[in-house]
A and B are shown apart, each in its own frame.
Chain A
Amino acid sequence: MKKKEVRVLEELLGSNKKIASEIREKLEKKGILTINILGSPGAGKTSLLESIAEKLKPDHKMAVIEGDIETERDAERIRAKGISAWQIITGGACHLEAKMVGKIFPEIPADLDFLFIENVGNLVCPASYDLGENIRCVLLSVPEGDDKPKKYPKAFTTSDCLVITKSDLLEALPFNLKRAQNEALQINPKLEIFTTSALKDSGISELIDYFLSSLHKLRQKNA
């Protein structure tokens, strides 16, 4: 019996990364901006998407991929707004992977402006998986507390934008907005930060402007 050492140097998530890159390239070619939404359960991911849908609907076409451990509830909420939605039920898995998005890919209409992917509610595991998005958007709701960026660094370092949600509760809760913003920027100086309330329709337009200007840049790159 002979022993042999083999140097491999392969990324463990290399196959996910490869599928994600293929998805990104194909969607970019169609001129679709893809946004991966991360956040804890109850951070307000679906409510934010409902508000975005209301505002985008008149002039832009969007669709949503919903990731949940169980139930079709989130997709139903989005469909009720007249928006196409696919539900991925992970059956226990705590995150979405690129191959799950890949399965839906053939059904995605080519004339979309935006594809939103709402990840499974979890501030840890989804951060490790590229889904082929152009923008990763992490949510932090006011009830969760202003100390979360340093407690969950991976989600905040890998994101492009931070959306602080439920800002209507700022008056009622000891959430220090400055502290949350500063901590997030210490961990990731490139973060774009938005403060929103889906309930009071505040800050959503600014977030949409950011998505629109990103879409514009993507299409300029294509042209």
Chain B
Amino acid sequence: MHELSIVASLFEILEEKAKEKKAKKIVSVKLKVGALSGVVPEFLETAFNIYKEDTIAAESKLEIEEVPLKIECQQCGAEMVKDDFVFICAKCDSRKLKTLAGTELLLEKIEVEV
């Protein structure tokens, strides 16, 4: 349940960006949350809606794109989505894998009113 701490970090970035763009308010916030980010999107949303009151993003809408864990086998080159987090290639059994996506916890974009 560290989602509130993460939302606090998010708002530090939001305040900074709003200032930089001389925004009057933030109307939407888009996050990318990987399946292996260690964060539960529902909790993140709840924390966001509690935290946003009396901030520049008070009326904003949060959009979360959930990103599945995607890996690439370094042996046979196959790309696959892994819902079970097992780091073994489904095609050739290799354990030499590269993570392509699914660990991110990213503020992708915001929409502001200037």
Is residue B38 within 8 Å, beta carbon to beta carbon, of the partner chain?
yes
**Does A176 sit at the interface, judged by CB under 8 A?**
no
Question: What CA separation (Å) do A3 and B59 show in the bound complex?
Answer: 14
Residues of B within 8 Å of A15, CB to CB, are 9, 12
Asked if A125 and B113 sit within 8 Å, CB to CB, the answer is: no
The residue that A12 contacts in the complex, of B1, B86, B107, with Cβ under 8 A, is B107
Beta-carbon contact of A10 and B107 below 8 Å: yes
Closest A residue by C-beta to B6? A12
Q: How far is the CA of A1 from the CA of B5 in the complex (A)?
A: 32
Complex Cα distance A154/B23, Å? 36
> What's the Cα separation between A128 and B2 when bound, in Å?
9
State which of B24, B106, B107 has its C-beta within 8 Å of the C-beta of A1. B24
B98 within 8 A of A: no
Within the complex, the shortest CB–CB distance from A57 to chain B, in Å, comes to 34
Given contacts A10-B107, A13-B9, whether A4 and B21 have CB atoms under 8 Å apart is yes
The interface residues of chain A, by DSSP majority, are classed as mixed
A153 to B113, CA, bound (A): 40
Q: Are A12 and B38 in contact (CB under 8 A)?
A: no
Which residues of chain A are near B39, meaning CB under 8 Å? 128
In the complex, B31 has a CB within 8 A of chain A: yes
Contacts of B91 in A (CB 8 A): none
CB-CB contacts of A147-186 with B at 8 A, as 1s and 0s?
0001001100100000000000000000000000000001
B88 at interface by CB-CB < 8 Å: yes
- Check if A128 sits within 8 Å of B109, measured CB to CB: no
> Quick check: B111 and A3 within 8 Å, CB to CB?
yes
CB of A124 within 8 A of chain B?
A: yes
Nearest-neighbour CB distance to chain A for B97, whole angstroms, equals: 8
Tell me the complex Cα distance, A128–B4, Å: 13
- With known contacts A12-B10, A15-B12, A6–B21 Cβ distance under 8 A: yes
- Asked if B108 and A4 make an inter-chain contact with CB atoms under 8 angstroms apart, the answer reads no
CA distance A15 to B12 in the complex (A): 10
Give the distance to chain B from A92, nearest Cβ to Cβ, in Å.
10
Decide yes or no whether B51 CB sits under 8 A from chain A.
Answer: no
A11 at the interface (CB under 8 A from B): yes
B2 lies within 8 A of A8 (CB): no
> With the chains together, A10 CA to B39 CA distance in Å?
16
**Which residues of A have CB within 8 Å of B9?**
12-16
Chain B, residue nearest A153 (CB):
B85
**Contacting residues, chain B, for A2 (C-beta < 8 A):** 113-114
B114 touches A12 (CB 8 A): no
Q: Sort A-B residue pairs by CB-CB distance and give the 7 closest, nearest first.
A: A125-B2, A189-B95, A154-B38, A128-B38, A153-B85, A186-B86, A7-B109
Using a CB–CB cutoff of 8 Å, the interface residues on chain B facing chain A are 1-2, 5-6, 9-10, 12-13, 17, 21, 23-24, 27, 31, 36-39, 84-88, 95, 104-114
Subset of 14 A-B contacts with CB under 8 Å: A2-B114, A5-B111, A6-B17, A8-B108, A11-B104, A12-B9, A12-B10, A12-B105, A15-B12, A94-B1, A128-B6, A187-B86, A187-B87, A189-B95
For the A-B complex with A10-B13, A154-B37 known, give 4 more contacts whose Cβ atoms are closer than 8 Å: A9-B107, A9-B109, A153-B36, A187-B87
